[in-house]
Homo-oligomer: A and B are copies of this chain.
């Protein structure tokens, strides 16, 4: 779990004029425990299992605010439901391998890929702010 990230998140929220409500802090604590993408459902389950009841609406609201402040990143990994993951303050990040059979999500990092993406961004006429790479197929168990 990332103390560093939660501190950063709470500070950024304060600076943006938000108060430290219980629901928001609970969501941050739960996200800090996940190094990779979590669905809103799993997040809610986590919160419940640690004894923190948080209304679903508050979860969505917190995630929205965190996303706007670039503290979390939204991913559509599952067709059904949104997933979110922490954005590391130092810019470190990974991408995702998704198994279409069992749904397993595995993170991976690849410097060569990052370089190629950097070049593609520079070649484009967009001002690219972030990027996602998703590799889909079968995991080693399902293949």
Binding site for B on A (CB under 8 A): 74, 76, 79, 82, 95, 97, 99-100, 106, 108, 110, 112-113, 115-117, 119-121, 123-140, 143
The interface residues of chain B lying within 8 Å CB-to-CB of A115 are 116
Docked pose: A79 CA to B106 CA in angstroms: 22
Q: A76-B76, A117-B135, A135-B117 are in contact. Are A126 and B112 (CB under 8 A)?
A: no
The interface residues of chain B lying within 8 Å CB-to-CB of A110 are 116, 119-120, 123
Query: What are 27 A-B contacts with C-beta separation under 8 Å?
Result: A74-B79, A79-B82, A97-B124, A97-B126, A99-B126, A100-B129, A106-B126, A108-B124, A110-B116, A112-B116, A113-B116, A113-B119, A113-B120, A116-B116, A116-B117, A120-B133, A120-B135, A121-B135, A126-B135, A126-B143, A130-B136, A130-B137, A131-B135, A131-B136, A132-B134, A133-B133, A133-B134
Return the 6 tightest CB-CB contacts between A and B, nearest first: A76-B76, A116-B116, A128-B137, A129-B137, A113-B116, A127-B143
Chain B nearest CB from A95 CB (Å) reads 8
* A82 (CB) vs chain B CBs: closest residue: B79
